[in-house]
Structure formats: structure tokens, C-alpha cells
Amino acid sequence: MMLKASRFLLVMLVCTVAFAGRPARADSTPEALVEKARLTFESLYNDKDYTQLRKNMKLAKAVLIIPSELKGAFIVGAAGGSGVLVAKDENGAWGYPAFYTVGSGSLGFQIGFQNSEAVFVIMTEKGLHAIINNQVKLGVDLSVAIGPVGQGMSGSTTTAAGADIVAFSRTTGLFAGGSLDGAAIVKRDDWNTAFYGQGATPTAIIFDKKFSNPKADPLRQALQAAQ
């Protein structure tokens, strides 16, 4: 019996890793993801329930926008979603996006399904540099606070004061259990290359400003209008 249970858990863990490593929605191109990121940001920013998002955007160093993060669980949980990271320079101008994935897995009693749109407002230089220079884990390498309206998400702190990241989300579906703590933010080299060309690393895109693509201009304009 114990052997069968172990085999079952092993299979479920393999499925978890495979699930978390894929884009959560059928966004077949980087261009589609950039446009959905714009729509997600504008939707949450203009929602009357997200006034704290507007306040935090005025002080933001960058934003990571995840148009759809899917969670599915039956004993073993998995979450994953692709999105874009956009930073603001010292003059207040928003740059071009780099592509990232947020993913996590968990083992425990969880049953349910959840679909979340999320905007992670990066408040500190430490947070921005950590994401670009390393693969980081939320609540471990960077502190996370949850916005007042963030159904279905939990974090290591409940106040935005001093947090590296403030997370806002809109959730549909039902999910019992799970947390942002331990979720990894990982760069998507394949989509950065597809959108900009060879050599398009997050550092080259965001810090060095070596790459641009006019298809990201509507997203940049939406962020600029939010200041």
C-alpha cells in the first residue's frame, strides 16, 4: 500500500512540475501576452476596488503583470503563469517588457481550481535587481504584501509598508489552500528572443535599453498614463 501511495505521489509531482513550467493560458505568441498584460493592468487599475494599486503605482520601480495564473490541485498543487516585467527609469518613463513566469508547487491537502489575474507592483530597487539578476522566490528572497482586494492569495505580510512587492489579484473559481510564499519568478529567454531577437536578456532589455519593439508601446502608454 505504501509503495502504491509513493508511486501516486511521484506521478502527481511530475505532473505538477510539468504544469508549472508551461504558460498558464494558450497565449501562443509574445505579442498576445503583451496585449493581454495591457488589458489586465487597465482592468485592475480602473477598478474602483483597487484604489491602493493606483497609489502604489506612483512609487513603483517596476510591475510584473500576469494576465492569467492558473492553479489546479488534488492533494498536489501547482500554479503557473507567464507575464511581463516592465521597469520605470529615473525620469519616470516606462521601458520595454521582459518576459517571465511565476510558478510554484505544493504538497498537502488541496482540492480546487483557480484562475487569477495579477499585478505585482515592485516597490524597491532591491526587488527589481533581484528579479532581473537571479531566480527569486517570493516570501523567501523578497518580501510580499497583499493588496486590500486580493481574493485567493496570501503572502508573508499583510501591510505594504517596507515590502519589496505589493501584489494585487482578481480571482475566479474556488481554491482551498496555497500561498504566494515560495513561488519562483523565472525569466523566459525563449520569448524574450522571439519578441526582440538574439541577445535580448532581461538586463539588456530593462537596464541597458538595447532592445525595443513597437508592439509593446500600447502597454507602455497604459503604464505611463497611470502615474
Contact 110, 74 (CB under 8 A): yes
Per residue in 37-49, pLDDT (tens digit) is 999 999 999 988 8
Q: What is the spatial distance between Cα 104 and Cα 101, in angstroms, rounded to a whole number? A: 10
Residue 189 has pLDDT above 60, yes or no: yes
Domain count, the chain: 1
With bands split at pLDDT 50, 70 and 90, how would you rate the model's confidence at 222? very high
Q: What is the spatial distance between Cα 82 and Cα 55, in angstroms, rounded to a whole number? A: 25
With bands split at pLDDT 50, 70 and 90, how would you rate the model's confidence at 133? confident
Residue 154 has pLDDT above 90, yes or no: no
The three grid cell numbers given for residue 10, joined into one nine-digit string? 511521484
Residues of the domain holding 57: 2-225
Neighbours of 89 (CB within 10 A): 12
Q: What is the pTM of this model?
A: 0.74
Q: What is the spatial distance between Cα 170 and Cα 67, in angstroms, rounded to a whole number? A: 10
Mean pLDDT of 211-226: 96
- From the list 100, 98, 92, 161, the residue with the least C-alpha distance to 135 is 100
Q: What is the spatial distance between Cα 84 and Cα 78, in angstroms, rounded to a whole number? A: 20
Backbone angles phi, psi at 4, to 5 degrees: -65, -40
Residue 7 has pLDDT above 60, yes or no: no
pLDDT of residue 157: 42
